[in-house]
Amino acid sequence: MAKGIVISPDKCTGCHTCELACSFTKNDLFNPKDSAISVLSYDEAGLQVPMTCLQCDDPHCMTVCTVNAITKDPKTGVVKVDKDKCIGCKMCISACPFGNMTYSSRLKQVIKCDLCSGTPQCVKECPSAALEFKELDGPLHKRKNIANLFNNVFGEVAK
């Protein structure tokens, strides 16, 4: 089974250290806009939720790439972008159903998590252990869905 980043929004403090660790590791600059992980704020529920690529079983980003710049490693399950092949059309960004890919105008490239070749720095630097790198509990469609957390929290907020 593949390993991936597992997020615990209830532990996230919203410090954005994960974004800074990612951008610095990948681009030698502390710039959250160039990070492959983003912390989303849900003020109504008092939640901060880190979001990053889910390394989909059947990646839509890979399917729409006309130059085959996006591949999935059959052994690790990691979906990677070959920056030398990428033409910057941004179709992959539009195709991601979770919105977990971006484009850096500064770097002129697509930004997507590649799990730091097995040692995700966002996980390593997270001070509250809201991020874990561990074996995933099955295919994406069977994994515990973060939407359940949102439904529980927002359902209670709406009452």
Residue 29 has pLDDT above 90, yes or no: yes
Give the mean model confidence (pLDDT) for residues 55-71: 96
Phi, psi (deg, nearest 5) at residue 121: -70, -25
- The whole-number pLDDT of residue 154 equals 57
Biggest CA–CA distance in the chain, Å, is 51
- The whole-number pLDDT of residue 158 equals 47
> Which band of pLDDT confidence, cut at 50, 70 and 90, is reported for residue 67?
very high
CATH level 2 (architecture), domain 3-135: 2-Layer Sandwich (3.30)
- The whole-number pLDDT of residue 148 equals 57
Query: Whose CA is closest to 23, among 121, 131, 127, 115?
Result: 121
How far apart are the C-alpha atoms of 54 and 32, rounded to whole Å?
19
Give the mean model confidence (pLDDT) for residues 92-101: 95
> Which band of pLDDT confidence, cut at 50, 70 and 90, is reported for residue 136?
confident
Residue 159 has pLDDT above 50, yes or no: no
> What is the pLDDT of the chain when averaged over all its residues?
89
